[in-house]
Amino acid sequence: MEGMMKEFSEFTEKYLAVHVTVVVILSAFIIYCLV
């Protein structure tokens, strides 16, 4: 059970890092288009 939680937390960190990067890129792209 603890092994699963460790893997899940590592997966969540990777997913959040990717998600944040995508949101930042999209925000920059939208701002660039509006300006």
DSSP string, the chain: -HHHHHHHHHHHHHHHHHHHHHHHHHHHHHHHHH-
pLDDT bucket at 1, cuts 50 / 70 / 90? low
Compute the CA torsion angle 17, 21, 24, 25 (nearest 10 deg). Answer: -170
What is the model's pLDDT at position 22? 96
pTM of the model: 0.58
Residue-range domain boundaries for the chain: 1-35
pLDDT bucket at 8, cuts 50 / 70 / 90? confident
Which comes out higher in pLDDT, residue 1 or 22? Answer: 22
